[in-house]
């Protein structure tokens, strides 16, 4: 290494010490039940934009992003932005078909209030409601759970005085359905083929995540979200009866640099425990730990990771649910990866591939689940060596219980403690010696492997060199053959040139002949068009003459219209005014009302007249019937007395008087009806029928006749000789 390169590296390290990382962790969101399209969060810091992957909301309106957005900022530039009260603008969009965006709302985060995470300190997040939400969605305002903090720079790149964001928009995973793999980065570059595998090997206390009112008719399943795609496992009915033999295999085609760059901005594998569309628990695993430090030579790599599951409804449980996930990353040639090869790599029962994970249904054997409460140690397998990683706090329930029970004891024997410490020290020394011997043995073995590899590599290089020499000789012979072939082709080309020259002359002759014919045809067509133009001009002149005649007729009609307008004005002047017309209309209306009243009175009078005539006729008939009965009765009495002949004159006289009475009655009724009608016409009111004086006279005459009859009867009784 030259002095210039060393100094440049030194300056770069100094510059990296002056860099800071502004981190925005977008965990989840709620209140998005009114949005059916994909949701993205886009953040802008001083003109540099970064955004999350598109995520769709569940039926409950929850969105799980689990993305981390990072900006690399120089300390001086960051201090300047804080002084100028700069803010990080976070916008939430609803995306349809990756080109139509609708802004749901925004959040403004001041850089002055940013917290700094020191030595891996965990920063608490908070729920923040979106501002600028449309009126139609203000009943349930969406909110996002964010963590906004500052930490030491994690990037090895340096851009003095500028902000750089992860290339999220450049590296977009695409699914190749023909080959059943995911492409990250350009296709035509230098790429390798990787196989990423996941397998659940243990899970505990998952029933603590289920709500009390949960109806699990649809069963449970695990949903893995990575590289922008969702991979769902087989549905199982019981949380304690899940097959631990089920694996998920995903094929990737990319380079190790592109994979490292993509996982630098999207490192998380999101794992969700689902019941239909409801999320019972979620967790995330960092995929960056699968990447080797020294290129693809560090593969294959397998890691067992213990993950705590968090519930969206209740994040604090006494029995913390957790799962143990085995993750593996291997590299293979693309030609070797086929359906048979993939089956041989993951031959266990229940394997799932990306291209068939949503449609295949396989029988899974239930092996049972261990009921241990403590998590096993996390093991990393690298080149056949096992290394133990420390567990995260909170993953071991029994240890916490034992510590609490031990703390309740009031007294511990010091001798026992000293004895335990001495035993631990002895065990430590023994383990140290064993570890040193083991490392020496491994070092020796590693050196032997290196020497063997070097000898094999040397032999391979020598064989390659001999192959290259043979290939060069073959190429020289092929070059000589190519020269002779080239001479033969040159001769053929000269013959073809002569033939082309002859064809060219023939083509020119035919061209000249066709050109002459075309000129003759063009002249003929030109004469025809001139004749047609003359005819059209003649027709145009005729149309102009017709137009002049129409204009003259139009002038005459306009004069007639003026005369008619004057006549109409004259008629309007001689007609009645509006007031006169209104008064005449009111008079006509009043006369019409009087006529209606008269018609109603006439109908009423006709009804009264008919009623009076009926009453008179009824009285007449009753009077005649009573007279006939009376006469009949008198005849019978006279017959009984023997006076049927002598009083015949009296009876005939009585009949005459009866006729006279009837005649007078008719006259009185007629007179009385006339009086009633005249009185009704004068008073315009109905009046009940009253007895006339003629009726009283008839009654008096009848009374007189009765008295005469009685007197005659007395006379006959007193003088029998008569």
Q: In this structure, what CATH number is given to the domain that contains residue 9?
A: 2.60.40.150
Which one has a higher pLDDT value, 659 or 85?
85
Which one has a higher pLDDT value, 663 or 640?
640
**Helix (H/G/I), strand (E/B), else coil: 313:** coil
- 436 pLDDT more than 50: yes
Is 54 within a domain? yes
Distance CA 371, CA 368 (A): 9
Residues 320, 306 share a domain: yes
Residues 86, 157 share a domain: yes
How far out from the chain centre does Cα 282 lie? 25
Instruction: Give 137's pLDDT tier (boundaries 50, 70, 90).
Output: confident
**Residue 167, pLDDT score:** 39
**Residue 573, pLDDT score:** 74
Number of domains in the chain: 4
Domain stops at, among 549, 569, 589: 569
- 529 pLDDT more than 50: yes
Angle, alpha carbons 391-394-398 (nearest 5°):
95
Residues 320, 216 share a domain: yes
**Residue 673, pLDDT score:** 45
Instruction: Give 157's pLDDT tier (boundaries 50, 70, 90).
Output: very low
- 366 pLDDT more than 70: no
- 574 pLDDT more than 80: no
Which one has a higher pLDDT value, 243 or 703?
703
**Residue 1, pLDDT score:** 46
Distance CA 253, CA 259 (A): 9
**Residue 90, pLDDT score:** 93
Question: What average pLDDT score do residues 487-496 get?
Answer: 92
Question: What average pLDDT score do residues 642-662 get?
Answer: 50
Is 60 within a domain? yes
Residues 315, 182 share a domain: yes
Is 577 within a domain? no
Residues 564, 424 share a domain: yes
- 386 pLDDT more than 70: no
**Residue 613, pLDDT score:** 80
- 546 pLDDT more than 50: yes
Domain stops at, among 145, 169, 193: 169
Q: How long a stretch of residues is the chain?
A: 722
Helices (H), 642-692: 648-683
Question: What average pLDDT score do residues 574-578 get?
Answer: 70
Nearest to 62 by CA among 239, 311, 260: 311
Residues 376, 248 share a domain: yes
**Residue 252, pLDDT score:** 87
Lowest mean pLDDT among 42-51, 377-386, 459-468: 377-386
- 339 pLDDT more than 50: no
**Residue 496, pLDDT score:** 92
Is 632 within a domain? yes
- 188 pLDDT more than 80: no
Instruction: Give 479's pLDDT tier (boundaries 50, 70, 90).
Output: very high
Residues 174, 316 share a domain: yes
Residues 114, 196 share a domain: no
Question: What average pLDDT score do residues 4-15 get?
Answer: 48
Phi and psi at 687, nearest 5°, equal: -140, 140
Is 574 within a domain? no
Domain residues for the domain of 459 are 415-569
Residues 351, 463 share a domain: no
Is 288 within a domain? yes
Instruction: Give 116's pLDDT tier (boundaries 50, 70, 90).
Output: confident
For 325, residues 6+ apart whose C-beta sits below 8 A from its C-beta are 198, 199, 200, 201, 271, 285, 304, 305, 306, 307
Is 581 within a domain? no
Residues 465, 328 share a domain: no
Instruction: Give 134's pLDDT tier (boundaries 50, 70, 90).
Output: confident
Residues 199, 102 share a domain: no
Is 406 within a domain? no
Question: What average pLDDT score do residues 369-377 get?
Answer: 33
Which H or E run contains 174?
strand 174-176
Residue 283 and residue 231 in contact, taking contact as beta carbons nearer than 8 Å: no
Highest mean pLDDT among 66-80, 360-374, 413-427: 66-80
Question: What average pLDDT score do residues 71-77 get?
Answer: 84
Question: What average pLDDT score do residues 89-111 get?
Answer: 87
**Residue 377, pLDDT score:** 33
Domain stops at, among 117, 141, 169: 169
- 343 pLDDT more than 90: no
Angle, alpha carbons 28-30-31 (nearest 5°):
155
- 241 pLDDT more than 80: no
pTM: 0.31
**Residue 58, pLDDT score:** 86
Distance CA 628, CA 511 (A): 145
Alpha-carbon Rg for the chain, nearest whole angstrom, is: 61
Question: What average pLDDT score do residues 426-448 get?
Answer: 88
- 294 pLDDT more than 90: no
Find where tokens 């899974």 sit: 364
Q: Quick one: what percent of the chain has pLDDT higher than 70? A: 68
For 306, residues 6+ apart whose C-beta sits below 8 A from its C-beta are 322, 323, 324, 325, 375, 376, 378, 391, 392, 395
Residues 187, 322 share a domain: yes
Residue 338 and residue 166 in contact, taking contact as beta carbons nearer than 8 Å: no
């Amino acid at each position: 290494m030259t002095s210039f390169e060393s100094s440049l590296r030194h300056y770069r390290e100094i510059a990296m010490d002056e860099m800071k990382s502004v981190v925005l962790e977008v965990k989840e969101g709620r209140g998005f039940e009114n949005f059916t399209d994909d949701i993205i969060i886009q953040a802008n810091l001083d003109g540099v934009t970064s955004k999350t992957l598109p995520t769709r909301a569940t039926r409950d309106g929850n969105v799980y992003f689990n993305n981390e957005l990072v900006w690399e900022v120089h300390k001086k530039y960051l201090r300047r932005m804080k002084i100028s009260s700069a803010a990080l603008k976070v916008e939430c969009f609803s995306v349809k078909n990756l080109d139509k965006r609708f802004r749901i709302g925004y959040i403004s985060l001041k850089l002055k209030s940013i917290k700094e995470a020191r030595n891996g300190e965990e920063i608490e997040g908070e729920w923040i409601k979106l501002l600028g939400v449309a009126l139609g969605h203000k009943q349930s305002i969406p909110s996002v759970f964010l963590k906004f903090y500052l930490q030491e720079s994690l990037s090895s790149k340096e851009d003095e005085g500028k902000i750089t964001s992860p290339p999220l928009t450049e590296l977009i995973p695409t699914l190749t359905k023909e080959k059943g793999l995911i492409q990250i980065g350009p296709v035509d570059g230098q790429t390798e083929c990787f196989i990423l595998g996941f397998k659940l090997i243990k899970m505990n206390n998952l029933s603590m995540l289920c709500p009390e009112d949960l109806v699990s008719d649809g069963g449970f399943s695990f949903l893995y979200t990575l590289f922008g795609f969702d991979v769902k496992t087989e549905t199982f009915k019981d949380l304690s009866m899940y097959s631990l033999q089920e694996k998920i295999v995903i094929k990737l085609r990319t380079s190790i640099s592109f994979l490292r760059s993509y996982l630098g901005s999207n490192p998380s594998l999101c794992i969700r425990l689902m019941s239909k569309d409801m999320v019972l628990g979620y967790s995330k695993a960092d995929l960056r730990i699968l990447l080797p430090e020294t290129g693809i030579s560090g593969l294959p790599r397998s890691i067992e990771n213990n993950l705590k599951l968090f519930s969206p409804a209740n994040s604090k449980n006494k029995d913390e649910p957790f799962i143990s996930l085995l993750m593996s990353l291997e590299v293979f040639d693309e030609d070797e990866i086929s359906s048979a090869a993939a089956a041989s790599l993951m031959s266990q029962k229940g394997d799932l591939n990306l291209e068939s994970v949503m449609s295949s249904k396989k029988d899974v054997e239930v092996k049972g689940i261990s009921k241990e409460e403590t998590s096993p140690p996390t093991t990393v397998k690298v080149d056949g060596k096992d290394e133990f990683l420390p567990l995260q706090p909170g993953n071991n329930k029994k240890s916490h219980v034992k510590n609490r029970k031990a703390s309740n004891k009031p007294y511990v024997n010091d001798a026992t403690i000293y004895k335990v410490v001495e035993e631990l020290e002895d065990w430590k020394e023994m383990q140290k010696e064993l570890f040193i011997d083991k490392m020496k043995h491994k070092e020796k073995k590693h050196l032997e492997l290196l020497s063997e590899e070097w000898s094999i590599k040397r032999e391979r290089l020598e064989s390659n060199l001999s192959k290259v020499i043979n290939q060069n000789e073959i190429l020289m012979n092929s070059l000589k053959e190519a020269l002779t072939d080239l001479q033969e082709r040159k001769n053929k080309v000269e013959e073809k040139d002569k033939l082309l020259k002859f064809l060219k002359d023939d083509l020119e002759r035919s061209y000249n002949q066709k050109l002459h014919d075309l000129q003759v045809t063009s002249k003929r067509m030109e004469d025809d068009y001139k004749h047609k133009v003359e005819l059209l001009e003649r027709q145009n002149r005729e149309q102009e003459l017709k137009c002049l005649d129409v204009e003259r007729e139009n002038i005459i009609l306009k004069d007639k219209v003026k005369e008619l307008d004057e006549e109409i004005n004259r008629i309007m002047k001689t007609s009645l005014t509006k007031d006169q017309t209104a008064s005449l209309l009111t008079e006509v209306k009043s006369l019409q009302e009087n006529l209606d009243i008269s018609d109603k009175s006439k109908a009423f009078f006709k009804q009264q007249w008919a009623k009076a005539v009926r009453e008179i006729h009824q009285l007449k008939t009753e009077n005649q019937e009573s007279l006939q009965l009376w006469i009949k009765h008198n005849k019978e009495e006279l017959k009984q007395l023997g006076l049927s002949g002598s009083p015949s004159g009296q009876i005939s006289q009585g009949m005459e008087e009866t006729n006279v009475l009837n005649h007078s009655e008719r006259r009185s009724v007629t007179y009385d009806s006339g009086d009633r009608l005249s009185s009704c016409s004068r008073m315009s009111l109905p009046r009940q029928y009253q007895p006339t004086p003629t009726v009283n006279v008839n009654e008096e005459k009848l009374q007189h006749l009765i008295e005469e009859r009685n007197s005659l009867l007395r006379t006959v009784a007193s003088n029998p000789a008569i």
